[in-house]
Chains A and B, each alone.
Chain A
């Protein structure tokens, strides 16, 4: 089978299952919005500049809802041992990995597409008209987080207590992308010139490339018992 058709097939199936069940969409969105509400009540943003805390608030919401998305995505494969159905198929197993990454990126992007405008209103801030850079930064860091998260979720999915193991493995590995995401967002919120944070954007891009490439190459072994 054509490699990219297999990627699309896996991603489309995840989206279709989610559209039917709506389990993930509701959980992710409410979790992310709850984070915004809690931070809004915890800090007096008339005194504290949102630039100082804003990136942290946003990325706590995105990262933790991302963990939920990844965890749920592989729970779907664990139930009824569906992952075996995929492993039996005559496709390159890395196509399954990329399909899962694509679906997770879409779920996280949907949350971000709602959370960013809501937080603009809630915290009364602007990205100083740099929409293209904001989108680029969100895409790069979301892809990085989904890439590493999907890899570790696949690694732990066939182990006992995989759901407990996932955050233990994922959070240390995701530190570079989380750091780059928070730093870039802080600079974007402050309206600083691109040169000031270009290195963080480059880090995110390099992280994406390294993790996607390594995962595609190693995924067959990751799924070994």
Chain B
């Protein structure tokens, strides 16, 4: 049974969350509470644990320590399959099939998510991605930016309550970049919870209400985005990536 997401139920609640890969600690003792509708930017140097944290929140991997609840439901429970319906995840990879057309890719995912009218949902999403003119072309013939736009459309198609975006601006040209910013703003306006992992500090600060900085799997900073200085964030991350290298 999935709990109802009322105002009191956080979209994400992590307590002592940890993830290890053998001796490698990817995320360590992380406590986090994200309320529904909140937009969070996740910063950190390479290997800080950003992607692992997003994968944990997407229920793609299980924590090795602590507890993670999404909308009041334990993410490791047997109800995780119903929980996944409420999650939209965009990773570094597009998850698209290059031998299928853009429309077929979206239709496949629309049917997998059992959307009530998969054809309309796929058509609407491909229109929103401004790829209608290429909808019957194989994805293998798309440019990297077009594939990224289609991947974004795939992640948003089922109207998820929780959006997890890992470097979503990768490969996008300036107009697509602006459109994605507008889309994220719309999603924010629609009350969706969004976690955006990015190396672009300015971008993250513009898109988020709150900023998290990770380094070596630990939460280094958790502050409101408003008034936060980009230079301060850069200095913080540089210092921590340098100390991380020195320690290793």
Contact = CB atoms under 8 A, between A and B. Distances in A.
A2 B112 CA distance: 10
B60 A84 contact: yes
A9 B95 contact: no
Contacts of B68: none
Contact of B112 (A1, A16, A79): A1
Majority secondary structure, B binding face: loop
B93 A20 contact: no
Interface stretch (B81-89, B173-181, B193-201, B210-218): B81-89
A9 B112 contact: yes
Contact of A92 (B81, B85, B109): B81
Given A13-B97, A20-B138, A81 B91 contact: yes
Majority secondary structure, A binding face: helix
A82 B91 CA distance: 10
* Residue of A82, A88, A93 ringed by the most chain B CB atoms within 10 A: A88
Interface residues of B, number: 32
B58 A88 contact: yes
B89 to A, nearest CB: 5
B192 to A, nearest CB: 16
Interface string A1-29: 11001100100010011001100000000
B208 interface: no
A1 B104 CA distance: 19
Contacts of A13: 97, 100, 108
A202 interface: no
Interface in B163-213: none
Interface in B74-109: 81-85, 87, 89, 91-100, 104, 108-109
Given A13-B97, A16-B100, A224-B62, A88 B108 contact: no
Contact of A84 (B21, B83, B93): B93
B112 A91 contact: yes
A17 B100 contact: yes
Contact of A20 (B96, B99, B112): B99
A1 B114 contact: yes
Contacts of A16: 99-100, 104
Given A9-B108, A90-B85, A85 B95 contact: yes
Interface string A50-91: 000000000000000000000000001001111011111111
A61 B68 CA distance: 49
A76 B95 CA distance: 10
Nearest to A87: B60
A224 B56 CA distance: 12
Interface in B16-33: 21
A80 B96 contact: yes
A195 interface: no
A88 B99 contact: no
A68 to B, nearest CB: 18
Interface in A73-117: 76, 79-82, 84-93
11 contacts: A1-B113, A20-B99, A20-B100, A80-B98, A81-B95, A82-B97, A87-B60, A90-B84, A90-B85, A91-B81, A224-B61
